């Protein structure tokens, strides 16, 4: 049996190339903005957000690796850096002597709160405010299809992509409150 | 005057988080597939594609940097690696003594042709074939909006995102030919 390649037709190729280039340029731009505004790479920002949303502002290192789709060694390295800045401290798991927890400190929460407005402004400027409400819905639906495929059915990642009340310091005040 | 943060509402936050996570997982997955199938990081693949589509299979190093949105030092490093593999050779610009050209070799074109079917299959599996024709159009339109914003109006990048006849070795045979 031979492997027959189904090449991309013109529309598919256009969609793929446009999407690939746009997402890469967007990622680069958001990273540059966050570094300029808060001297913080996106990886750090994301870890601080995850910890700020967790009960007791605490997560296992292994959970951070899973939720950021990162190798454990990369998380260990990042958490070491955050510990040096005084934004995170590490503690032994009470119920698992080999396990480590990462805990967001008050200084870490303050750093996140200082960075959040500039990051949100950047996400608005380069993504959200460029799109119509229809396009925003389409983008969410398309992304959900990809996510379901890449991670299996909606599951324990749901809390990472949906709004949640205890994320209000990042979601911010809304007009209807 | 104070800086008033327009926080993301629930729909905006959901779209942003879903999109951000989906694109990162997709990028990681395509990279892993390409490394497994062809032992080639996406950066190398992209450079080979750009060269394969250029007249005389030749581009200035500065053009490669612009079109891949990369720092010149990163391109120099990647082209050195590709040169070691025998896939690219460097030549002086005839009309600019300080400039360097990168030229795709026959071996480089062969490596690209060998990698292309697996890469296209991967792009199909994890993106294209998951979406309806409507969603594919929506994704292309949304991506074009982002691209116009991030690069200025459509211009010399058009040839990177649209289909072109001399890219047929990658676009592949179509049913209507």
Task: With beta carbons under 8 A apart, name residues in chain A contacting B138.
Answer: 135, 138-139, 142
* Domain-wise residue ranges, chain B: 20-176
CB contact under 8 A, A8 and B124: yes
Mean pLDDT, all residues of chain A: 87
Asked if the C-beta of B131 comes within 8 angstroms of chain A's C-beta atoms, the answer is yes
On the 0-12 / 13-18 / 19+ scale of CB atoms within 10 A, B79 is buried
How does pLDDT run across B107-165, given as a tens digit for each residue? 999 999 999 999 999 999 999 999 999 999 999 999 999 999 998 765 555 556 655 43
User: A96: distance to nearest CA of chain B, Å?
Assistant: 30
**Fold held by A20-176:** Arc Repressor Mutant, subunit A (1.10.10)
What is the band of A174 on the pLDDT scale with cuts at 50, 70, 90? very low
Cβ-based neighbour number of residue B142 at 10 Å? 24
Confidence (pLDDT) at B174: 36
The sign one gets for the Cα dihedral A63, A69, A72, A76 is negative
Q: How confident is the model at residue B69 (pLDDT cuts 50, 70, 90)?
A: confident
The residue of chain A nearest to residue B175, with distances taken between CA atoms, is A9
Q: In which band, very low, low, confident or very high, does the pLDDT at B25 lie, cut at 50, 70 and 90? A: very high
Locate tokens 């030549």: which residue? B91
Minimal Cβ distance to B174: which of A9, A123, A124: A9
Contacts of B28 in chain A (CB under 8 A): 69
Residue in A3, A17, A124 closest to B117 by CB: A3
Tell whether B93 lies on the interface with A, counting CB pairs under 8 A: no
Q: Give me the residue label for tokens 């049913």.
A: B175
Angle made by CA atoms A122, A137, A38, in degrees to the nearest 5: 15
Model pTM above 0.90: no
């Amino acid at each position: 049996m031979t492997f027959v390649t189904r090449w991309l037709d013109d529309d598919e190729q256009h969609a793929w190339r446009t999407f690939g280039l746009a997402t890469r340029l967007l990622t680069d731009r958001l990273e540059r903005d966050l570094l300029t505004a808060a001297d913080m790479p996106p990886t750090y920002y994301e870890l601080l957000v995850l910890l700020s949303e967790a009960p007791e502002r605490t997560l296992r290192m292994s959970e951070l690796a899973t939720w950021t789709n990162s190798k454990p060694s990369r998380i260990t390295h990042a958490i070491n850096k955050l510990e040096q800045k005084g934004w995170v401290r590490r503690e032994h798991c009470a119920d698992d002597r080999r396990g480590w927890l990462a805990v967001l400190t008050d200084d870490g929460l303050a750093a996140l709160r200082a960075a959040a407005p500039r990051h949100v402004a950047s996400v608005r400027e380069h993504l959200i405010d460029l799109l119509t409400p229809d396009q925003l819905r389409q983008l969410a639906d398309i992304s959900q299809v990809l996510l379901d495929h890449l991670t299996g059915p909606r599951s324990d990642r749901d809390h990472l992509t949906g709004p949640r009340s205890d994320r209000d310091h990042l979601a911010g005040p809304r007009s209807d409150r």
